[in-house]
Structure 1
Amino acid sequence: MLSMLNRACALFVVALLALALFGPEQAFAAERCTVLDAASADARQRINDHLCFYSARPGDPAHSAKFPGALPENLQWQAAQGHDLVFSHTDAVYWVTLTVRNSSPQQAFWFLKLSYPLLDEITFWQHTPDNPGQYTELEPPLQTGDRFPFASRGIDYRYYLLPVTLDAQEERAITLRIHSSGALNVPLSLVTPGEAVAESNHLTLVHGLFYGALLVLAVFNLVLFFSSGTRYYLFNAFYIVSMALFLFAMGGLANQYFWPDSTELANQSIPLGLALCSLAMVLFGGSFLEIESGTLAGKAMQVLAWTSVGFLGASFILPYSKSILLNTFLILSVIASLSVIATIRWRQGYQPAFWYLGAWLVMVVGALLYALAAFGHLGDYQAREVMMQAAIGAQVVLLNYAMVQRWRLLNQKLLDIEQQARTELEFKVHERTTQLRNTMQELEQANRKLASLSLNDALTGLHNRRHMDNIMPELCAEARRTGQPLTLALVDADHFKRINDTWGHDFGDQCLKKIADNLAGHVKRPRDVAIRFGGEEFALLLPETTPDGADTLCQSILQAMRTTVIRTPDGADLCLTLSAGIAALQPGEGPRELFRRADEALYTAKAAGRDQVRGAPGTHEAATKSATN
C-alpha cells in the first residue's frame, strides 16, 4: 500500500509537470471541412468531424487579424478529424470554423455551446459560407471571455452559448477567434434549447449536491472546532472551503456569481485558489498528523506554509500564465511532501495516517485527470470536472473518516489510561487511607493547638482579646436572658512604662507574668475568665457575680500584688501595684457599653491616685478601700 501510494504521487508530479510544460499538441490533417447538418442529432453528436481550426503564432498575419475578413485567403485550415480541440499553454491565437446547414423544411433554433469557462477572449461570428475574405455578417459578432464582464456573454450561463437560427435549407458559417494566456479547451457542441436546458439542470443538480455536501461538512467541522477547540477541525474546514472555492472558480461559477464585473479576479481566482488550497493542505496535514514544530518534518511544513503565503501574494502580481504554473508546482510539492510525511508517520505507528494516505491517493487520481484536461492534454473537460468533484468528495469523506478514527484512537487511549489509573488508585487506596488517618489525627491536634494559640496570650498563658471578643457577647446575652448579674473588671499595672524604661522589656515581661499568675490564682471559679487584652492591661469576666463580689475579688488581687516582691536585674526588690475599674451589666446594655463603663471606672481609679478599685457610675459598690503607701 505504501509503495503504491508513493508511486502514484511520484507519477502525478512527474507526468503532470512534463505535460504542463512540454506536452505535445495533437496532430491534425490539413483538408477541407465538411458541412454539419444541424437537423441531424447524430451529426450534432459528431461535431468534431466537421470542425476546422488554424493556430496563428505571433508574427503570423492571422495572429493580428481581428475578424474573419482580415484572414489571408490562402489560410491552411486543419480538420479536427473527430478529435477534441485541446491545446497546452501557447501564445497563439486559434481560429475555429464550422459550417452548418438546416436540412429541415422549417426554421429551427440551436445553441453553439463552448463548454470551457476559462478563456480570456472569444469572439463568435455568423456569416455566409463563402471565402472568409469575402464574408458577409449575418448576425452581430459576440465578443466575450474572462477579460470582459460576465454580462458580455449575453446569456447568464457559466459556459458560452451562441444562438444560431437557420431558415429551411439555410447554410451559414460560424467562426471563432480564441486567445487565452492559459491552456485551451474548445469543447464545442450544437444543441437544441431542450438539450441545453436538460444538461444545465443535470449539472445544476450535480453541483448543488457536491457544493452543498462540502458546505455541510465545513460547517460541521467548524462546530466541532468551537465545541472542542481542536485545531485540525478548523483547518479541515479551511481546506474544504478553499478547495470548493477553487473548483467553483475553475467551473466558471465564481465568475458568474461572485465577481461578474471583475475581469481581474476572473483570471486571478484560479492561481489564488491553488495557493489557498496548498496553504490549507499544509495547515491541516501538520495538525492532523501531529507533526512537532522542532522536527525536520515540522520545519518542512513551516517552509511550505510560508511559501504558500508568498505564492498567494505573488498571484496578485504575476501574469496568469506564470502564476498558474508556479502555483501548480507548489501544490504538487505540497501533495508530495505530505504523502512522504504521512508515510513516515504511518511507519512510526500513527494509524490515522493510513486513512490520510488513502484520501490523498483518491484525490491524486482525480486531480491528475482534471489537471491534464485543464492544461489541454485531455478532452471532455466536463467529464473530467465531474470526476474531480467525485475525487474531492471521496477525499473529504475519507479525511473526515480519518478524523473519526483519530478521535476513536484517542478515546481508546483515554479509556486505557483511565483504567490503568483506576487500578493504580485501588492498589494505593489502602495505603493512602492509613496515611490519611494519621494525617487527620495530626491535623486535629495541630488545629487544637492553633485554636489554643489563637485564643491565648503567648506570654502569660491567659486568654487574649480575641477570646474576650468571642465570649463577652454570649455572656451578656445569657445574663439578659437569665437575669443573673455579669460584672467586668479591668485591671491595669501602675507606672509600668517606668519599669520598662528602667530595667528593659525582658524584666517587664517577668512582671507581666507575675501579674498573670496573681490573677490566675484568684480567679478560681470555672466560669470566671482572666484575660490579657493589652500590654499591661487585664480583664476579669465574672458571670453570676455582683459588683460587691467583684470588688472583694479585686481588692484581694491588689493586696496580693502589693506583697509580691520581684527581684530587679540590679538586685533591688520591687513591689507592683494595680488599679481596677468595675462595671456591672445594665438592662439593654451591650458588650461595648459595658466595656466602656468599666474603662471609665479604671480611668477614675488611675486619676484618684492608683492602687485602688473604683466602680462605674450607677454601679452598686462595696466600700472602696484605698491603698496605703
Structure 2
Amino acid sequence: MSLFARLAFLMLCTVIPAFALASVAVAGSECPAVDANDTQARNSLMYYVCYHQSSPGEPAHTALNPAELPEHIKWTPSQGHELVFSQTRSVYWIRLNIRNNGSERRLWYLNLHYPLLDEVTFWRGDQPEDVLVTGDQHRFGSRLVDYRYFLLPITLNSGETRSITIRIHSSGALNIPLKLETPEEVIAESNHLAVTHGLFYGAILVLAIFNLLLFFSSGTTYYFYNALYMVAMGLFLFAMGGFANQYFWPENPKFANTSIPLTLALCALAMTFFGRSFLEVAAHTRADKTLKAILWICAGFTGLTLAIPYSQAILINTALGLVIIFILSIIAISRWQQGYQPAKWYVLAWAIMAVGALVYAAAAFGYLADFLARESLMQVAIGGQVILLNYAMVQRWRLLNDKLLEVEQKARNDLEYKVHERTAQLRSTMRELENANRKLATLSLNDSLTGLYNRRHMDNILPDLCAEARRTGRPLTIALLDADHFKAVNDTWGHGFGDTWLQLIADILTRHATRPRDTAVRFGGEEFALLLPSTDLEGAQKVCEAVLEEIRTTSVEAPGGAKARLTMSAGIATLLPNENQQEFFERADSALYEAKAQGRNQTVIADT
C-alpha cells in the first residue's frame, strides 16, 4: 500500500527538486565557525552547517549522543543549501560551530523552523542540562520555548566558541531549515507570523461560520459542505504548521501526528461532498457514480488513517486529495461545457488550489526547499480558492433566483390561492410547491390519454398570454392542427388503434414545441393546438410544416400487419392589435378549415 501511494504521488507531482545537495564528503569533524554577531553571516548560516547521513545498520544510526559517533565520521557541508530530504529511514546528524566575537556575553536562538520532525535532540555542551530532547514524538512541553518551531537558546561569553550538534530522525520527509537569530529577531518574526496566520485562520473561520448560517437559514446543503471543507482545510494547515500540536493536543504527541493525515482525509471527503452538491451532478450518471465511489473511498481511508503508520497515511491521503482535485476539475469542466455557468468559477478555484497543493506537497515531502514560503503560498492559494468558490456560490444563487422567478410566474395562475397562503415560505419550499403543481396539473389540466394539456388549461392561460403579448409587443401565435380522415381510422381498425395514433401525434408535437413556454394542447378528439409565445408567423409555419412532415412520413403497423399512414392539416394565426381572445382563436380555426377545404395535408395562415 505504501509503495502504491508513493508512486501515485510521484506520478502526480510534476515538480522536481529545487536543488541537489552536494555529495562530496569532507574528512574531519570541524566545520567553519559562524560569527554570531555578524548579521550577514547569520543570514548565510547554511554555509556553516555540516551534516552526516546515517542509514540503518551504520554505527551512527544507533548512536544516541555525539560521544557514540565513530571517531572518523565524515561530515558533508551544506554549501548554503537548505537540508531537505524525501522520506527516509536514515538518521541525520547536524554540526554547527558558533563563535561570539563581540565584547560582551549575549544570547541567540537557533531556530529549526520546521515543526513536523519526530525526534530532535540538541547538544550545546557536555553537561546534562545542555541536552534538549524534543520532537513530535514527545510532549510539546519538552521544548525549552513555547513555540511551534524548535528554538534552542545559546548563550556565549565574549570570545567563546561552542559546537552545536543535532540528531534528527523522522518517519516522514525531512526539512531542516536553520536560522541563528537574536531574541529581537525571533520576536519580530513571531509577531509578523502571528498577524499573517491570525488573519488567514480568522478569515477561514468567519467564512465557515457564515456558510453555516446560510445553511441553517436556507437548508441548502452545499453551504454546509463548504463550511466543512474550510474547517477541515484550516485544521489541516493548523496541524501542518505546528499550531495544533501547540494549542490543541500538546499532551498527546501520537494524535498530533495522526491529526495531519486525518484532517487531510476529511478535506478530501468534504470537497467531494461540496463538488457533488454544488455542480448539481445528475443522479445515476457516470460522474455521480464516480463521486459516490470516491466518497466511500474517502470514508474508508479516514478510518484506515487511524490504523496505519503516519508515513503511509500521509502519502496515501495526499495522493487521494490530488486525484480528487483532478476528478472534480474534469467534472466541473464538463458541467461548464453543458452551460452551467457557476462551474467556470469552480474550475478556476480548483486550478489555483491544484497549483498551491502540488507545490506545498512537494515541499512537505522533501522535493522543494523553503517550507515556510510554500506554506505562505498554500495560504494564498486557499485564500484565492475560497474567494472564487464563494463568488461561484453567489453566481449559482443568482441563477437559481432567476429560475425561481420564472417558476413563480408559471405557477401563479394555477396555484394562486396557495401562493397567497405560502408566499413567506415560497423560497424555502419551492421544490414541494413544484411537486404539488405537477400533481394538480396531472389531475385537472392534462389529457389522460396523451399527457398533453387539455382545453381547460388552454382557456386558463390564453387570456394571460394575449395580455402579455399586447403589453410587451412580442408576437403570440396559435396553431390548430387536426388529423385528416381520422374517423376512417377508428372505423377501419378500431378506437384502440386510433388512440395509438393520438399518442403518437402528441409525442411529435411535444418534440417540436421545444422552447420552455411553448405549449401543446389536445382540445378535442383528434384536434390539437400549439401556443407559441414570442413566435411570429414564419416561425410557427416552420414548426407546423415540420410536424406535418414527420406525421406524413410515419407509418404504424395496424392490426393484421398492414402499414397505416395519416396526415394532418394546420391553421395558423398571430394575435392582432386590439383583437380579443375569441376572435384570435376563430381566425386560426377558419384557417384550419380552409386547409381542409384545399385538400388537407397542408398549413394555411389566417388573413391579417
Gaps of 5+ in 1: 1-11, 128-135, 436-629
Distance change (3 Å), C-alpha of 1:232 and 1:170: same
* Alignment partner of 1:251 is 2:204: no
Superposition pairs for residues 435-474 of structure 1, below 5 Å? none
Alignment partner for residue 366 of structure 2, among 362, 365, 376?
Answer: 376
Q: Which among 135, 149, 152 is matched to residue 159 of structure 1?
A: 149
Q: CA deviation at 1:86?
A: 0.5
Contact persistence 2:173–2:366 (CA under 8 A): yes
- Structure 1 counterpart of 2:231, from 241, 257, 266: 241
**Equivalent position of 1:57 in the other structure:** 55
Q: Which residue of 276, 282, 300 corresponds with 1:292?
A: 282
User: In the alignment, which of 251, 268, 289 is matched to residue 278 of structure 1?
Assistant: 268
Is 1:26 the counterpart of 2:21? The answer is yes
Give, as a single letter, the amino acid of the residue that structure 2 aligns with 1:110: W
CA contact (8 A) 1:25 1:88 kept: no
TM-superposition CA deviations, 1:457-491 (whole Å, max 9, x none): xxxxxxxxxxxxxxxxxxxxxxxxxxxxxxxxxxx
Tell me by how many angstroms 1:365 deviates. 1.4
SS at match of 2:92: strand
CA spacing shift, 1:14–1:185, aligned 2, 3 Å:
closer
Q: Give the AA of the match of 1:30.
A: A
User: Following the alignment from structure 2 to structure 1, what is the Cα–Cα distance between the partners of residues 193 and 153?
Assistant: 20
Q: Which amino acid aligns with 2:50?
A: C
Does 1:94 find its partner at 2:92?
yes
SS at match of 2:79: coil
**CA contact 2:318–2:361 (8 Å) conserved in 1:** no
Name the amino acid aligned to 1:74.
H
Amino acid at match of 1:212: G
Q: What's the CA shift for 1:372?
A: 1.1
- DSSP 3-state at the match of 1:73: coil
Cα distance in 2 for residues equivalent to 1:329 and 1:432:
59
SS at match of 1:318: coil
1:38 aligns with 2:16: no
What is the match of residue 146 of structure 1?
136
Deviation at 1:60, TM superposition (A): 0.7
Distance 1:299 1:138, change over 3 A: same
Judged with a 3 Å threshold, the aligned counterparts in structure 2 of structure 1 residues 430 and 52 are, in CA distance, closer, same or farther, namely: closer
Q: Structure 1, residues 381-417: CA drift from partner, whole Å, max 9, x if none?
A: 1111111111111111110110001101111222344
Secondary structure (helix, strand or coil) at the match of 2:130 reads strand
Letter of the 2:74 partner, please give it: Q
One-letter amino acid matched to 2:277: S
1:181-224 residue CA offsets vs partner (Å, 9 max, x unmatched): 00000010000001000100110001110011011100000000
Following superposition, the deviation at residue 324 of structure 1 comes to: 1.0
The correspondence for 1:229, drawn from 204, 219, 227, is 219
Residue type at the aligned position of 1:45: N
CA distance in structure 1 between the aligned counterparts of 2:279 and 2:456, rounded to whole angstroms = 37
Cα deviation, 1:314-354, whole Å, max 9, x if unaligned, reads: 11110111111111111111111111111111111111111
CA contact (8 A) 2:119 2:135 kept: yes
Residue 203 (structure 2) pairs with residue 208 (structure 1): no
Correspondence list, 1:345-364, <5 A = 345-364=335-354
Q: Which residue of 2 aligns with 1:83?
A: 81
Residues 1:112 and 2:107 are matched in the alignment: no
- The 5 Å alignment of 1:137-536 reads 137=127, 139-419=129-409, 431-432=459-460
Distance (whole Å) between structure 2 residues aligned to residue 413 and residue 428 of structure 1: 26
Separation in 1, partners of 2:250, 2:456? 72
**Within 1, Cα distance between the matches of 2:104 and 2:118?**
37
TM-score, normalised to structure 2, is 0.65
Q: How many angstroms does 1:418 deviate by?
A: 3.9
Letter in 2 for 1:114: L
Q: Name the larger-Rg structure.
A: 1
1:378 partner amino acid: L
Q: Does the 8 A contact of 2:54 with 2:61 survive in 1? A: yes
Which piece of structure 1 moves more, 44-53 or 25-34? 25-34
User: Distance between the aligned counterparts of 1:14 and 1:140, measured in 2?
Assistant: 41
Q: For residue 404 of structure 2, what is the amino acid of its counterpart? A: L
TM-score normalised by structure 1 residue count = 0.63
* CA deviation vs aligned residue, 1:1-26 (integer Å, no higher than 9, x gap): xxxxxxxxxxx966554779x99963
Residues 240 and 414 (structure 1 numbering): CA distance in 2 closer, same or farther, change over 3 Å?
A: same
Output the amino acid matched with 1:34. Answer: P
Give per-residue Cα distances to partners, 1:113-152, cap 9 Å, x unaligned. Answer: 000000000000013xxxxxxxx44852000001000000
* Residue identity in the other structure for 1:44: R
Quick one: percent identity of the two aligned structures? 55
Question: In the aligned structure 2, how far is the partner of 1:59 from the partner of 1:273?
Answer: 35
Amino acid at match of 2:57: G
Find the residue that maps to 2:102 and give its secondary structure.
Answer: coil
Post-superposition shift, 1:292?
A: 2.6
The CA deviation string for residues 201-249 of structure 1, in whole angstroms up to 9 with x for no partner, is: 1100011100110111000000000000000000000000000000000
Query: For the aligned residues, what is the CA RMSD?
Result: 2.6
Checking the alignment, whether the CA contact within 8 Å between 2:148 and 2:246 is kept in structure 1 is yes
Whole-angstrom CA distance in 2 between matches of 1:152 and 1:396: 37
How many positions carry a matched residue from both structures?
415
Query: Is the CA contact 1:272–1:315 (under 8 Å) kept in the aligned structure 2?
Result: yes
CA-to-aligned-CA distance 1:443-466 (integer Å, 9 cap, x gap): xxxxxxxxxxxxxxxxxxxxxxxx
Instruction: Give the superposition deviation at 1:48.
Output: 0.4
Distance 1:355 1:110 in 2: 49
Q: Is the 8 A contact 2:21 2:78 kept in 1?
A: no
1:122 aligns with 2:120: yes
- Equivalent in the alignment of 2:66: 68
| Compared CA separation, residues 53 and 402, structure 1 to 2 (3 A) | same
CA-to-partner distance for each residue in 1:427-455, whole Å, 9 max, x for gaps? Answer: 999944999xxxxxxxxxxxxxxxxxxxx
Task: Judge conservation of contact 1:153–1:160 (CA < 8 Å) in 2.
Answer: yes
CA distance in 2, matches of 1:386, 1:231: 31
Quick one: distance in 2 between partners of 1:38 and 1:395?
Answer: 42
The answer (yes or no) to whether the contact 1:16–1:372 under 8 Å persists in 2 is no
5+ residue gaps, structure 2: 1-7, 417-454, 464-608
